[in-house]
Amino acid sequence: MLTGNAQVLLYEGFDYAVGDSLPMHGWTGINNGDQVFVTNGSLSYTGFAPSVGNKISFDGFGRDFQKTFSSQAAGTVYISFIFQVTDASLLDTVSYFTGVGATSATFGSTVWIRKSGTGFKLGLNARSTVAYNSWNNTVYDFNTPILLVVSYQIVSGTTNDIAKMWINPSASSYCAATEPTPTITITNGGTDLTAIDRIFVRQAATNSTPFVDMDEIRVGLTWADVVVGVAGNVFQNEEICLVTVDTASTKNLIIWEKPIDIAIASFKIYREIASVYTYIASIPYSAMSVFTDTTIGVNPNTTAYKYKISVVDACSGNESDLSSEHRTIHVAISPASPCGYNLHWNDYVGFPVTQYLIYRDSSNTGWLKKDSVSFGNVDWTDFICYLPNDTIAYLVEAVNPAGCNSAKAVSHNSTRSNVQRNYGVLNVAQPSGNDLNLKISPNPANTKIYIESENDFKDALITVYDIHSQILLQIPLQKKITVLDISKLAKGVYIVKVVSEKGIAVKKLIKE
């Protein structure tokens, strides 16, 4: 737990007896009127450092109370606190109830409230003149704790100091080294403060100060000093969304989704090495949630790889347990008989896979989905015989049914294997005997071709393919001479394949 021991200029948790007044505990009263008393119970905010002790409650007209800290004449002073408004029924004007000060009557970064419908709005002023107020448009509910952070930056020069306000900042910013985007920013239009040495609570008037509960005040010089989360309460539910191979088929990508309201400093990536998950990289929370494994020797074309991820807590530096594992898809190919290729791959591990999609690229014309098989089936054969100069490539894809987003509008919905490429010259079936003693003439041809054979074949079949491996013609092989009408084929290059009980022959045909 981070409380008064954090590196802050002032911490006030009101860990005092109920009924105590503020002057009993180091606060100085200004003006006359009602006291501010310690009341029972504390205020808390989800994910923020746990509250201690009790709280204070005040309203309407009364004394102002101030508590000092070491004077700061340069840089930025931050204050944070939890508060709630319990009633604003008497308000008919606006005023401020807290801020920082340079003297008992010189204030900066003042926090303002005004009634709005069934709730209230919050405003900020670099100093305390109502004309310079800037209001947030959100209407907040009564009896609902709000985590508020304000800062005052002393800037060299005149009438240029900067005040900022954050209303309910995201837990992902807790303990962060840099402040997030503020809700309100104001550049002072009046006289700047020369130094800051106190925080105050103010009871202006019954028609301008609502009923307020206030707790857990922190003053510091950095965002991390005053915006602290629950130390040691490390987020344990981070998971990899998917792992995949990049489009160049040279690197593995690990993709996850970042939690929004969690105090995370970084993500750590682990890869299985010799059956042990070994740390390989850290990615800051602010970066895109994609990691490219550029480790020398890691090659998705040789094997599949397993990965896990963890988170590092921003407030404590503690690391979570490792996530579930994800394993890439590695596909390998081997020659099929008598033609084509056999594909074999490993099942993807990490999300539920219903089917694998099989893609083929012929002669670098682009990926086309050729087939799909159910999960658990890790083999597929392409029996097509390709041209000798054709380049054939394959990959296998599995779609993540939930999809995932690595932030900055980059979506990843599927994992892909490596790409396996072979050249058509290795893919044309070797003829049995002397090309089955077949001869095609004329070649090139225009309207018809004659397929002559010196042998008699039983149940032999002639098939004509285009360069995309689509079957265009198919007829039985006749004895001695078969006439094949090609008049309806477009001009181009085709493959003629003859399959018989005595073997297979593949010939190239040119249509003029």
> pLDDT, tens digit, for every residue of 309-358?
999 888 878 899 999 999 999 999 888 776 788 999 999 999 999 999 99
The pair of structure tokens assigned to 140 is: 């907040």
Mean pLDDT along residues 415-440: 63
Query: In the prediction, which pLDDT does 94 show?
Result: 93
Answer yes or no: is pLDDT of 2 > 50.
no
Quick one: CA dihedral 352, 355, 358, 359, positive or negative?
negative
d(CA 453, CA 439): 7
Q: Between residues 405 and 239, which one has the greater pLDDT?
A: 239
Owner of token pair 């106190």: 198
CB 425 within 8 A of CB 391: no
For residues 141-174, one letter each, b for 16 or more C-beta atoms within 10 angstroms of the residue's C-beta and e for the rest, the string is eeeebbbbbbbbbbeeeeeebbbbbbbbbebbbb
Structure tokens at 420: 């396996």
CATH class of the structural domain 240-327: mainly beta
Bridge partners of 334, per DSSP, are 342
In this prediction, residue 463 has a pLDDT band, given cuts at 50, 70 and 90, of confident
Q: Are 65 and 22 in contact (CB under 8 A)?
A: yes
- Are domains 331-426 and 435-511 of this chain identical in fold? yes
Tens-digit pLDDT profile for residues 189-215: 889 999 999 999 999 998 999 999 999
Over range 360-379, report the average pLDDT.
92
Q: Is the pTM of this model over 0.85?
A: no
Q: Can you give the residue ranges of every domain in the chain?
A: 10-226, 240-327, 331-426, 435-511
Fold of 435-511: Immunoglobulin-like (2.60.40)
Task: Give the β-pairing of 290-293 and 252-256.
Answer: antiparallel
What is residue 58's DSSP assignment?
A: E
Report the mean per-residue pLDDT for the chain: 88
- Which whole-number Å values give the CA distances from 11 to 58, 144, 393, in the listed order? 19, 22, 65
Nearest to 433 by CA among 461, 411, 408, 453: 453
| Amino acid present at 395 | L
Is-contact 55 38, C-beta < 8 A? yes
At 425 the pLDDT is 36
Q: What is the mean pLDDT of residues 418-434?
A: 53
Where does 10-226 sit in CATH, by number?
2.60.120.200
Q: Which CATH architecture has domain 331-426?
A: Sandwich (2.60)
Q: Considering only 126-135, 193-202, 219-228, 380-389, which range has the smallest mean pLDDT?
A: 380-389
Tokens of 291: 């990691």
Q: What SS3 class is residue 131?
A: helix
Q: Is the pLDDT of residue 426 over 80?
A: no
